[in-house]
Amino acid sequence: MSEHILFLTGKLAEKQLHQILEKMQPEFTYTVHQLGIKVAALMTTDMICRRLKETYQADRMILPGRCRGDLDKVIQQFGLPVERGPDELKDLPLFFGKEAHKPDLSDYRVKIFAEIVDAPNVSVDEVVERAHYYRRHGADVIDIGCLPGTPFPHMEAIIRALKQEGFTVSIDSLEADDLLRGGKAGADFMLSLHEGTLWVADEVETTPILIPEIHEDLASLDRAIEAMQAKNRPFLVDPILDPLHYGFTQSVVRYHQVRQKYPDIEIMMGVGNITELTHADTVGMNALLLGICSELEINAILATEVSKHACRAVKEADLARRIMHAAKQNNMLPKHIDSGLMALHETAPFPYTLDEIKELAGEITDPSYRIQTSTEGLHIFNRDGFHSATDPFDLYPKLGVENDGGHAFYLGVELARAEISWQLGKRFNQDEALSWGCATDLTESTVDLHSFKPAGTTLKKN
Over residues 152-181, the pLDDT tens digits come to 999 999 999 999 999 999 999 999 999 999
Query: Contact at 8 Å (CB) between 335 and 288?
Result: no
| More confidently predicted of 216 and 88 | 216
- Could you count the other beta carbons within 10 Å of the beta carbon of residue 26? 15
The pLDDT of residue 311: 94
Q: Is the pLDDT of residue 442 over 80?
A: no
Residue type, position 296, single letter: L
15-19, 197-201, 323-327: which has the minimum mean pLDDT?
15-19
Q: How many CA atoms lie within 13 A of 341 on its CB side?
A: 25
Residue 105 belongs to a domain: no
Domain closes at, from 297, 330, 363? 330
User: Are β-strands 370-374 and 377-382 bridged in parallel, bridged antiparallel, or unpaired?
Assistant: antiparallel
Three-state secondary structure readout of the chain: CCCEEEEEECHHHHHHHHHHHHHHCCCCEEEEEECCCCCHHHCEHHHHHHHCCCCCCCCEEEECCCCECCHHHHHHHHCCCEEECCCCHHHHHHHHHHHHCCCCCCCCCCEEEEEECCHHHCCHHHHHHHHHHHHHCCCCEEEEECCCCCCCCCHHHHHHHHHHCCCEEEEECCCHHHHHHHHHHCCCEEEEECHHHCHHHHHCCCEEEECCCCCCCHHHHHHHHHHHHHCCCCCEECCCCCCCCCCHHHHHHHHHHHHHHCCCCEEEEECHHHHCCCCCCHHHHHHHHHHHHHHHCCCEEEECCCCHHHCCHHHHHHHHHHHHHHHHHCCCCCCCCCCCCCCCCCCCCCCCCHHHHHHHHCCCCCCCCEEEEECCEEEEEECCEEEEECCHHHCHHHCCCCCCHHHHHHHHHHHHHHHHHHHHCCCCCCCCCCCCHHHCCCCCCCCCCCCCCCCCHHHCCC
Do 30 and 71 belong to one domain? Answer: yes
Mean local confidence (pLDDT), 333-343: 90
Rounded Cα distance between 277 and 227, Å, is 34
**Positive or negative torsion for Cα 25, 29, 35, 41:** negative
Q: How far apart are the first and last CA of the chain?
A: 58
Do 122 and 204 belong to one domain? Answer: yes
Mean local confidence (pLDDT), 41-66: 90
Domain closes at, from 330, 354, 379? 330
Residue 103 belongs to a domain: no
The CA-based diameter of the chain, rounded to the nearest angstrom, is 82
Percent over 90 (pLDDT), the chain: 75
Do 252 and 296 belong to one domain? Answer: yes
Residue 102 belongs to a domain: no
The pLDDT of residue 356: 84
Residue 417 belongs to a domain: yes
Domain closes at, from 306, 330, 354? 330
The pLDDT of residue 230: 96
Specify the CATH number for the domain of residue 259.
Answer: 3.20.20.20
**C-alpha dist (Å) from residue 384 to 90, 291, 399:** 26, 52, 10
**191 band by pLDDT with thresholds 50, 70 and 90:** very high
Rounded Cα distance between 314 and 55, Å, is 48
Residue 101 belongs to a domain: no
Mean local confidence (pLDDT), 322-348: 90
**Positive or negative torsion for Cα 125, 126, 131, 133:** positive
Rounded Cα distance between 71 and 67, Å, is 9
Which residues in 388-397 are b (16+ Cβ under 10 Å) and which e?
Answer: bbeebeebbe
| Best CA proximity match to 158, nearest among 176, 146, 174, 140 | 146
Q: How many CA atoms lie within 13 A of 106 on its CB side?
A: 2
Q: What is the pLDDT of residues 249-278, one digit of tens each?
A: 999 999 999 999 999 999 999 999 999 999
Do 383 and 313 belong to one domain? Answer: no
Hey, which residues does 303 pair with through a beta bridge? Answer: 114
Do 326 and 407 belong to one domain? Answer: no
Residue 442 belongs to a domain: yes
**38 band by pLDDT with thresholds 50, 70 and 90:** confident
Rounded Cα distance between 315 and 322, Å, is 11
Q: Is the pLDDT of residue 452 over 70?
A: no
Do 315 and 343 belong to one domain? Answer: no
34-43, 206-215, 401-410, 429-438: which has the minimum mean pLDDT?
34-43
Average pLDDT, the chain: 91
Residue 358 belongs to a domain: yes
Count of residues making up the chain: 462
Do 286 and 401 belong to one domain? Answer: no
The pLDDT of residue 330: 85
The pLDDT of residue 42: 75
Number of domains in the chain: 3
Mean local confidence (pLDDT), 361-389: 92
Q: Is the pLDDT of residue 237 over 60?
A: yes
Do 413 and 306 belong to one domain? Answer: no
Domain coverage including residue 417:
339-461
**351 band by pLDDT with thresholds 50, 70 and 90:** confident
- Could you count the other beta carbons within 10 Å of the beta carbon of residue 131? 24
The pLDDT of residue 453: 47
Mean local confidence (pLDDT), 307-319: 96
| More confidently predicted of 27 and 131 | 131
Can you say how many angstroms the Cα of residue 177 is from the centroid of all Cα atoms in its chain? Answer: 40
108-122, 124-138, 204-218, 323-337: which has the minimum mean pLDDT?
323-337
Residue type, position 60, single letter: R
| More confidently predicted of 132 and 14 | 132
Rounded Cα distance between 186 and 224, Å, is 23
Residue 130 belongs to a domain: yes
Specify the CATH number for the domain of residue 48.
Answer: 3.40.50.11600
Q: What is the pLDDT of residues 96-122, one digit of tens each?
A: 876 555 678 999 999 999 999 999 999
Do 67 and 123 belong to one domain? Answer: no
**455 band by pLDDT with thresholds 50, 70 and 90:** very low
**Positive or negative torsion for Cα 143, 144, 147, 149:** negative
Q: Is the pLDDT of residue 459 over 50?
A: no
The pLDDT of residue 98: 60
Percent over 70 (pLDDT), the chain: 94
Do 269 and 138 belong to one domain? Answer: yes
| More confidently predicted of 99 and 363 | 363
Do 427 and 353 belong to one domain? Answer: yes
Rounded Cα distance between 63 and 274, Å, is 45
Do 158 and 176 belong to one domain? Answer: yes
**458 band by pLDDT with thresholds 50, 70 and 90:** very low
Mean local confidence (pLDDT), 399-415: 95
Rounded Cα distance between 318 and 303, Å, is 10
